[in-house]
Structure 1
Amino acid sequence: MYPSVKSMIVAAACIGFGIHGGRVRAESSVDRNGAAYVDLLDMHGSPNTPTDRSFNIFFDAGAWHGYSLPLTDDRETGFSGPFVHSLSEGQWAGARFAALALRDVASEQDMTLVPAESHAAPGYLVRVFSGLDLTVRQTLFFADSWHALVRVELIAAKAQDVNLSVLGRAMSTDNARLDQNGDTVTQTFAHSNSKLSTRLHMDGAPAQHVTLSGANYRISLEQPLHLKPHQAATVFVEQTLIYDSRAETPPPVDYATAWIRNRERWAGYLKSAASTRLPGLSDDVVRRVAVKAMVTLLGNWRAARGDMHHDGVIPSYSNPDFNGFWAWDSWKHAAALAHFAPKLAREQILAMFDYQAADGMVPDCVYLDKANNNWRDSKPPLAVWAALELYRADGDKAFLADLYDNLVRYHRWWFTARDHDHNGLAEFGSTDGTRIAAAWESGMDNAVRFDTVAMLKNGDGAWSMDQESVDLNAYLYREKLDLAAVAAILGKTQDQQRWLAEAAAMKTPIQTRMFDPALGYFFDARLGRDERVRIFGSEGWAPLWAGVASADQAESVIRVMLDPKKFATVMPFPTLAADDPRFAPIKGYWRGPVWLDQAYFGVEALRRYGHERQADDMARRLVLRAKGLTQQAPFYENYDPLTGTGYQSRNFSWSAASYLLLLQHSVKDSSR
């Protein structure tokens, strides 16, 4: 059985200590009853180079700087870091943070601390050390997106006075500089306005002294710290990252409440784990996977900085190419965040609509520097689905009302910029006329179905592929139904009826132009011809997810989906049928691997047409056959459908989001 969230907070905020043989020891560094969520991911690592991303990093609260637990055989106190994600494509600014040097005043001897425990828990990292008559506990957590804190707690078995110093070590590079500003150590970087500040805080603490030596720094209390028997003395080490020191003034830290607020915030997140389930799997397994998904999404959360005007979630901090917000990713992130972090879900949606163009287009991706934003293409239209998912989770009608016009303009843009022959069915395309950008717009960059496309000009800055994609039009059909639902919520009766009529007008063309009765599957259609692109891909079940397929068509598609030679593989629902000669599950990218968003849509497609048992079976396979998922392995960008091995980017947000939605096990029926 799982402990209550309240018991986890109370226990995690407390420390139990015992005395054994004159040596103080920590009974546990984490909640004894809440161990189910401890060490979901292995957070141990130490960077070998400034750009080393070979291990997992702890981020939270939207921070752009993160930390790791040192390697398990590392006996030095403190943490690895920080990794500054906003510095270039991301690099380690520090090798060690918050190491301690303690000296017994009476004996004038340095005090030896022996590592006892090292853990990662939702919302914090913790290390415990024992010494002669002394235990030290270091808890690293984020007070907000600017401030990382290490709460250092010292408990002695007997009264003693110690000299305390905090040590740090910057990553040796030619582009960084350490300086002293009073009792604060600052680190600045060439070609950047960012600044990293480190300081020591203790209520009523005496003056402090800073020493710099090359890449090392030391902050020392000038007067001894008096430890009373069995009473915790608490010192905070604060590290603050300012992205643009010319424009930002971070708020001060409230040390008295920072940890309590962290625990309350995470308690709110973890409550939603109780609503995750999957028949045939234990609650323990399901909830651990669900909480790991939350940890992953919040680890990729980045606060508004630079030209990003709202918070959002990046695809993966483990990949140097992914330090912005992508549209398609954002809609999936928001749909999952809606169930446990609705405020962040709202921010994620707004971050993309901040850059909506006058004609309604939403760009592919946005960055800290808007000059890098990609306007060559957009991404598949799932914004209304995400917004409606958020409304169903939090009931915020005002947000939906504010967003409605933006959603309508984006939806209309697809038909004005991407319907070459004006027949009411759209095509993926680009603003620059290139095929590669058009493929990016689909989200399935190198899918086999695009191998032979040609580009057609629709107007200035508007080009289409010469084929109508079945997934795009299924999404647009679903958007019309979802817009009708939004209009109903907002009391816009005429709009609701118009959206329903438009959806009905799309239904027959999709069913007739894109379904092949002989093969029993949906395919893209060649523009201007009664010809289908007969590639069996995951796009073929999008009409079932959207609810646009007829009952007979759905049964035919489901037979294909459940064929072990095609899609019912060891880990089910690859993006290309396993019997296709171009099937390449390891290096194929969109030519065979399992992508979790498409797999999630596949499970929901089965549910929508009444195949609950098969949906549960496929969902269990996705959980159990992804290697290491129920242990400490991170979420990967995609998976080998024949072995379940994860590939491409680790700590991938939309995989985490898709698993979280999968485990919510809810059937959406508003658009049937």
Structure 2
Amino acid sequence: MLIPRFTLSPYRLDVELFFNTQKLGDVSLCIGQGELLHLKGQGVTLKFALEGSRYDYAFQHPNGDQCIVAAGENLRLTPFTTVGNAVVEGNWRRDHADNVALTFSGEQFEGGIILHRRLCPEFARPSFAEAQTASRQAFFNWHGKQDQSEAAQPATYLLWANTVPAEGALTHPSTYMSKNHMINIWSWDNAFSAIGLAAIDPDLAFSQFAAIFDWQDDSGLLPDFVHDAGASFAFTKPPVHGWAILHILEAYRDCFSSDQLVYLRDKMEKQLSYWLTHTRANEQELPGYFHGNDSGWDNASFFDHGGPVVGPDLPTFLCLTANCIAQLYRSAEEPHMANKFDQIKTQLRNLMIKQLWNGKCFVFRKPAQPDLVLPDTSLAQFMPLLLGSDLPREIADKLVERFNAQGFLTEWGPATENPQSAYYEADGYWRGPIWAPTTLLIFDGLCRQGEIRLAHELAKRFMRTCEASGMAENFDALTGTGLRDQAFAWTSAVYLRFQNVLSKAQLTSA
């Protein structure tokens, strides 16, 4: 029986192949400068096979280079070797090839694969050892820490490895959620990645905002996501950016330059205008989400009857956006403009309380069906805790009491849907699993209400979940099992943020 054994570090992957207990050979891989995969092996043959799309094919260039074209991915792969052989192949079928593959072989082999979209670039081709040393140094230069915990290292690595350069429609280097499946930068994911990056690379943290804000529509609408080929406006995402920028500035005061702050302030003004102008009928109504995807909570229980939906999370985020803009104007010594946005914040908060607070909790409703009762079992109902002292004390106390009494906080972290709810699903995306962004939002809300002990306990549980199950997209709220994509950037970012907060708390109490 063939048994592979994997050893992974941020700069190298080693695979040993055994037949029962006898070692047959091994392969090592590392990513070098540019779009270049270095590899070496002995005692085995290494084969890369395309899964196949309509027009994949393989050919030999007039200069002698062999090449594979992965048509569906708009990608070309050119192999090279310094030891051993590399052969591309495919069974021609009229206008494409089946079974397209690239094979490295020989008693020993060393070489690599150059990934490119146009002509093959002239890369320097260092040895595997040189490429590995350079990759190791590049990672260390980026994060600046030699000693990291067992979980912190992969979290840091994922933020680094999921970052792609500015190219095509990407105007800034961007940290994708994952290079497994979620190869976009979404317009609320970016804010959480920025929080995790702020302590490591402030310029890259700013780039997460700018890569999205550069695509902002004239109306202030942000795209759902951006990647190198373009942007999608089929949906948008919740305006968490003001909250995130305030969070970063409170933790890392000098993270952004004055020019960057002016850029962010101007973009947030347009963003705020979009939500207040285009998602409500008049100033006496609350803004709402047209679709679950706009809220970031995609299929949450409060969207069980479709949209538009008005709930407490959106006005909370908009209050924080207005607050962030006001603070930036105040720092720029423009008190008149600061007062303007302070008033917007107050008006939104008062509307939210008047229209959504029922004495026990904040509710969700459909303006088109005012008598329809929507579920009140989603974690999103607690977002107003983020308002801190701007939320009346009696309301805050009732929200914290409700959070504790209804069992949202499990052994592993805060469930996005009450586990006792009829809508709860173990792998239901936003109907139960624990997510990093909502965990950080609840954590920050509890801190702003003075519930530090509870907030830190929540953070510790989430960190234990990541340490047990990795930096997954989300987690089963009752078992802690990692779900969906297993290598997510915002999970990594939130883990590192919690680690930073708790380590500082330990130093303060020592």
Same fold (TM over 0.5): yes
Shift of 1:337: 1.8
Alpha-carbon separation, structure 2, partners of 1:375 and 1:657: 26
User: In 2, Cα distance between the equivalents of 1:199 and 1:511?
Assistant: 65
Distance, in Å, in 1 between the alignment partners of 2:123 and 2:211 is 22
**Relative to 1, partners in 2 of residues 1:169 and 1:550: Cα closer, same or farther, differing over 3 Å?**
same
2:467 corresponds, among 601, 626, 630, to 630
1:122 aligns with 2:10: yes
Three-state SS of the structure 2 residue aligned to 1:540 is helix
2:343 aligns with one of 498, 501, 510: 501
Match of 2:475 among 634, 639, 652: 639
- Whole-Å Cα distance in 2 between the matches of residues 273 and 211 of structure 1? 39
Question: For residue 594 of structure 1, what is the aligned residue in structure 2?
Answer: 434
Deviations 1:115-167 (A, max 9, x none): xx9521123324689xxxxxx99763333341233489xxxxxxxxxxx9997
Correspondence for 1:331: 191
Post-superposition offset of 1:543: 0.8
Q: Does residue 566 of structure 1 match 2:407? A: yes
Please give the alpha-carbon distance, in whole angstroms, between the structure 2 residues aligned to 1:562 and 1:312.
37
Instruction: Give 1:575 deviation, angstroms.
Output: 1.6
Kindly indicate whether the alpha-carbon contact (under 8 Å) linking 2:366 and 2:372 is maintained by their aligned counterparts in 1.
yes
SS at match of 1:480: helix
Residue 470 of structure 1 and its aligned partner are, at CA, apart by 0.5
Shift of 1:363: 1.0
Matched, 1:198 2:79: yes
In structure 1, the residue matched to 2:21 is: none
Over 3 Å counting, the alpha-carbon distance change for 1:199 and 1:273 in structure 2 is closer
Quote the Cα distance in structure 2 between the aligned partners of 1:166 and 1:397: 56
Counterpart of 2:437, as a letter, is: D
Matching residue within 157, 169, 175 for 2:47? 169
CA RMSD of aligned residues (A): 3.8
| Deviation of the 1:301 alpha carbon | 2.5
1-side partners of 2:124 and 2:261: how far apart?
Answer: 33
Secondary structure of residue in 2 paired with 1:507: helix
Q: Residues 411-441 of structure 1, C-alpha deviation per residue, up to 9 Å, x if partnerless?
A: 2111111122322631112xxxxxxxx1210
Write the mapping of 1:63-142 to structure 2, written as runs, cut at 5 A: 73-74=3-4, 119-126=7-14, 140-142=29-31
TM-score computed with the length of structure 1 as normaliser: 0.63
1:105 aligned residue: none
Aligned with 2:454 (options 609, 614, 630): 614
Q: Distance in 2 between matches of 1:556 and 1:571?
A: 23
Q: 1:234-286, CA deviations, whole angstroms, 9 ceiling, x for partnerless residues?
A: x97342211x206x857656779755553333224444698xxxxxxxxx8xx
Q: Secondary structure at the match of 2:8?
A: strand
Q: Is the 8 A contact 2:427 2:476 kept in 1?
A: no
| Counterpart position of 2:357 | 515
Matches within 5 A, 1:523-534: 523-525=363-365, 527=367, 533=374
Displacement, 1:379? 0.5
SS of structure 1 residue aligned to 2:339: helix
Instruction: Tell me: CA distance 1:408–1:216, structure 2 relative to 1, closer, same or farther (3 Å).
Output: closer
Mapped partners of 1:507, 1:209: distance in 2: 68
Q: Secondary structure of 2:410's match?
A: coil
* Structure 2 letter corresponding to 1:123: Y
CA spacing shift, 1:379–1:183, aligned 2, 3 Å: same
Q: Please name the residue that 1:313 is paired with.
A: 175
Matches within 5 A, 1:196-595: 196-200=77-81, 215=101, 237-242=111-116, 244-245=117-118, 249=121, 252=124, 259=132, 261-271=134-144, 287-319=149-181, 322-370=182-230, 373-389=231-247, 393=252, 394-423=255-284, 425-429=286-290, 438-453=291-306, 465=308, 467-517=309-359, 519=360, 521-525=361-365, 527=367, 533=374, 535-547=376-388, 548-563=390-405, 565-584=406-425, 586-595=426-435
- 1:410 Cα shift? 1.5
**Runs (5+) with no aligned partner, structure 2:** 18-24, 91-100, 505-510
Matches within 5 A, 1:14-53: none
The Cα shift of 1:356 comes to 1.3
1:642-664 C-alpha deviation (Å, 9 max, x unpaired): 22223233223322222222222
CA displacement 1:516-551 (0-9 Å, x = unmatched): 22x2x2223554969985613211211112324222
Q: Report the AA paired with residue 294 of structure 1.
A: T
Compared CA separation, residues 170 and 645, structure 1 to 2 (3 A): closer
User: Matches of 2:458 and 2:444 in 1, distance apart?
Assistant: 10
Give the corresponding residue for 1:143: 32
In 1: Cα distance, 2:88 partner to 2:286 partner: 66
Change (3 A) 1:249 1:502: farther
Larger of the two Rg values belongs to structure: 1
Q: Give the structure with the higher percent helix.
A: 2
Q: Is the 8 A contact 2:162 2:178 kept in 1?
A: yes
Determine what percentage of the aligned residue pairs are the same residue.
21
Structure 1 pair 128/524, CA: closer, same or farther in 2 (3 Å)? closer
Q: 1:213 to 1:443 in 2, by over 3 A?
A: closer
- d(CA) in 2 for partners of 1:365 and 1:590? 19
Which of 658, 662, 666 is matched with 2:498 structurally?
Answer: 662
Letter in 2 for 1:361: L
Secondary structure at the aligned position of 1:241 is classed as strand
**Which letter maps to 2:472?**
Y
Return the structure number with greater strand share. Answer: 1
Evaluate the alpha carbon distance shift between residue 420 and residue 263 of structure 1 in structure 2; reply closer, same or farther with a 3 A threshold: same
Distance across 2 between alignment mates of 1:192 and 1:452: 37
Tell me the CA shift for residue 489 of structure 1: 4.0
Unaligned regions of 5+ residues in structure 1, if any?
1-70, 75-116, 130-135, 153-163, 203-207, 226-234, 275-283, 430-437, 455-464, 668-672
Asked if 2 retains the 8 angstrom alpha-carbon contact of 1:143 and 1:253, the reply is no
CA deviation vs aligned residue, 1:89-123 (integer Å, no higher than 9, x gap): xxxxxxxxxxxxxxxxxxxxxxxxxxxx9521123
**Does the 8 Å CA contact 1:364/1:377 hold for their aligned counterparts?**
yes
Alignment match, 2:97: none
Preserved contact between residue 163 and residue 173 of structure 2 (Cα < 8 Å)? yes
